[in-house]
């Protein structure tokens, strides 16, 4: 990209147009203590040869997930990805043209999204799926905003304290200036008491948000919670783990009105914060309030099967901001394609096997780690593929011992300010452990040995 510069005269012209006297005045809103008061500390100039060698040296210090043994959890998991996922998703017709702005020229992409939506509906038991969102956290937010539009209640949302803390932080960021109160249900024992939740739901509540399995890996009494929500006219939002649906009830069976998820576990590799995949499905009566895009099937003038962009949410570039149903400007089509290929390859039986293996190996790992006598399960609730262990000291130290031996484990839960504030000193001792079908008995035994105190 060419370097674009502007002259002093052009700067003066732009400042005059916005009513500022100087460039510094444009940054008055930034507190002084947050501004850099020195030049950037850049190294001396290098030749192209030197710069390339330097950058190669920097990059060589990175270690990918495939180069280590991962027991990392908290929403992103090291599930096995069949080679066919990369092969198919890497084809040029998909890799370079995955957003159907010109639907008439994108039949292949539209069909792929239609198949994705079909698979998500089959997976969740819901009536309608959109063609994907950004990722898990923003999917939760979009579900809440959707619930507000449907119920016409804008005052209150009830969310369990066992929902991913970053999802809750994202929700608070979105609604803090909308006059909406986010009521958090305490979960000191890893799960919430449905009776406590029922007391918090009233005629002003737009939605109740439950994660199943929750952030701690525990299973909530979700059906009872959603029954209480329905009795007061609030919508039920289920935040699910796609892999868990190989063995657990789906969101529709639990009574959810809207189901959302992070789709990374469906054939998307571990990477630095994304891109990932936001999943959303709902009951058919709510489809016109669903954000994002929805692809439908029809026939052309010759009677041949074809696909169309049936619905897309009204966004800020379409209408006034306050009337927009979403701020989403695109979907995660390429990642949705990966999920489509992954689910197609596994099928119902394959997904069940992945879920069962993850469940069995996680419980074996829990038995081995807690048999160490230095660790114990933090919660007594049933769990699926991840669990929290309570460490004798600081969980960060235990994770460091594992890391030194080649095992990535965690995160330690005090890294999340929201959880640290809610659980106090306990959070410093809590370490999250996730076990997928990719882990072997030898690796689990090796982790157990690695974190034993010397």
Asked whether residue 123 falls in the same domain as residue 234, the answer is yes
Q: How many structural domains is the chain composed of? A: 2
Average pLDDT over residues 136-153: 96
Q: Are residues 375 and 301 in the same domain?
A: no
Say yes or no: 319 and 378 in one domain: no
Is the pLDDT confidence value at 364 over 50?
A: yes
CATH number at residue 377: 3.90.1150.10
Provide the β-strand partners of residue 383: 218
Q: What is the pTM of this model?
A: 0.88
Residue 105 confidence (pLDDT) above 90: no
Q: In what order do the strands lie in the sheet with 278-282?
A: 128-129, 278-282, 258-262, 235-240, 205-212, 156-160, 181-185
Domain holding 229, by residue range, is 83-342
pLDDT at 95 over 90: no
Q: Please give the pLDDT value at position 341.
A: 97
Q: Per-residue confidence at 311, pLDDT binned at 50, 70, 90?
A: confident
Q: Supply the pLDDT for residue 104.
A: 52
Q: Which range among 98-112, 177-191, 344-358 shows the weakest confidence by mean pLDDT?
A: 98-112
Structural domain contains residue 60: no
Nearest to 156 by CA among 110, 204, 221: 204
- Segment among 155-169, 266-280, 346-360 with least mean pLDDT: 266-280
Closest CA to 216 of 12, 411, 65: 411
Q: Is 105 inside any structural domain? A: yes
Of 342, 361, 396, the domain-final residue:
342
Least confident of 109-123, 324-338, 357-371: 324-338
Shared-domain flag, residues 275 and 403? no
In a domain, 55, yes or no: no
| 376: in domain | yes
Average pLDDT across the chain, whole number: 91
Final residue before a domain boundary, out of 303, 318, 342: 342
Residues 219 and 338 in one domain: yes
Does some domain include residue 56? no
pLDDT of residue 1: 45
What pLDDT, on a 0 to 100 scale, did the predictor assign at position 372?
67
Measured CA distances, 187 to 3, 136, 234, 441 (Å): 53, 21, 21, 32
357 shares a domain with 337: no
Is the distance from CB of 331 to CB of 100 less than 8 angstroms? no
Q: What is the mean pLDDT of residues 23-36?
A: 89
- Residues 6 or more apart whose CB falls under 8 angstroms from that of 249 comprise 223
Q: Does position 330 have pLDDT exceeding 80, yes or no?
A: no
Residue 453, C-beta contacts closer than 8 angstroms, at least 6 positions apart: 374, 392
- The verdict on 368 and 327 lying in the same domain is no
Residue 149 within any structural domain of the chain: yes
Residue 419: inside a domain:
yes
Give me the pLDDT at residue 159, please. Answer: 98
Q: Give me the CATH number covering residue 133.
A: 3.40.640.10
- Taking the CB of residue 444, how many other CB atoms lie within 10 A of it? 23
End of a domain among 275, 307, 342?
342
Average pLDDT of 260-264? 97
User: Are 147 and 171 a contacting pair, CB within 8 Å?
Assistant: no
Strand partners, 108: none
Cα 113 from Cα 118, distance rounded (Å): 9
In a shared domain, residues 129 and 242: yes
| 446 in any annotated domain | yes
Tokens coding 454? 């010397």
| Same domain as 120, residue 266 | yes
Same domain, 248 and 123: yes
Which pLDDT band, with edges at 50, 70 and 90, does 107 fall under?
A: confident
Phi then psi dihedrals of residue 134, to 5 deg: -70, -60
pLDDT digit string, tens, across residues 115-132: 999 999 999 999 999 999
Residues 331 and 363 in one domain: no
Cβ contacts of 24 within 8 Å, gap of 6 or more: none
- Residue 93: its pLDDT value, please? 80
**Mean of the pLDDT values across residues 20-43?**
89
């Amino acid at each position: 990209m060419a370097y674009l510069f502007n002259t002093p005269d052009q700067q003066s012209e732009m400042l005059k147009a916005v009513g500022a006297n100087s460039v510094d005045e444009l940054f008055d809103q930034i507190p002084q203590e947050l501004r850099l008061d020195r030049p950037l500390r850049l190294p001396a100039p290098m030749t192209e040869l030197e710069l390339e060698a330097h950058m190669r040296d920097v990059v060589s210090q990175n270690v990918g997930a495939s180069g280590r043994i991962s027991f990392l959890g908290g929403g992103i998991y090291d599930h096995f990805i069949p080679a066919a996922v990369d092969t198919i998703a890497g084809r040029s017709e998909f890799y370079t043209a995955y957003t159907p702005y010109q639907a008439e020229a994108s039949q292949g992409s539209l069909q792929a999204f239609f198949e994705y939506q079909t698979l998500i509906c089959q997976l969740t038991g819901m009536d309608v799926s959109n063609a994907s969102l950004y990722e898990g956290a923003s999917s939760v937010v979009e579900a809440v905003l959707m619930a507000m539009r449907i119920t016409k209640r804008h005052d209150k949302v009830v969310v369990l304290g066992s929902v991913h803390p970053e999802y809750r932080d994202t929700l608070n960021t979105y609604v803090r200036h909308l006059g909406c109160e986010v009521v958090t249900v305490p979960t000191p024992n890893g799960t919430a008491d449905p009776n406590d939740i029922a007391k918090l739901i009233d005629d002003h509540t737009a939605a109740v948000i439950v994660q199943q399995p929750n952030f701690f890996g525990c299973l909530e009494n979700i059906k009872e919670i959603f029954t209480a929500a329905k009795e007061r006219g609030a919508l039920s939002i289920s935040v699910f783990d796609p892999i868990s649906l190989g063995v657990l009830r789906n969101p529709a069976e639990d009574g959810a009105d809207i189901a959302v998820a992070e789709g990374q576990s469906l054939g998307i590799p571990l990477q630095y914060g994304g891109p990932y995949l936001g999943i959303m499905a709902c009951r058919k009566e709510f489809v016109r309030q669903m954000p994002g895009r929805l692809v439908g099937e029809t026939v052309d003038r010759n009677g041949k099967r074809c696909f169309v962009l049936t619905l897309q949410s009204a966004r800020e570039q379409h209408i006034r901001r306050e009337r927009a149903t979403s701020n989403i400007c695109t979907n995660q089509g390429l990642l949705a394609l990966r999920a489509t290929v992954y689910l197609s390859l596994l099928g119902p039986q394959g997904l069940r096997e992945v879920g069962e293996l993850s469940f069995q190996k996680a419980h074996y790992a829990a038995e081995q780690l807690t048999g160490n006598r230095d660790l114990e399960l933090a919660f007594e609730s049933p769990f699926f593929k991840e669990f929290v262990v309570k460490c004798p000291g600081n969980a960060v130290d235990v994770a460091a011992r594992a890391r030194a031996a080649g095992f990535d484990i965690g995160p330690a839960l005090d890294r999340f300010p929201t959880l640290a504030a809610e659980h106090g000193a306990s959070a410093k001792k809590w370490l999250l452990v996730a076990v997928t079908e990719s882990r072997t008995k030898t690796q689990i035994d090796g982790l157990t040995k690695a974190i034993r105190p010397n």
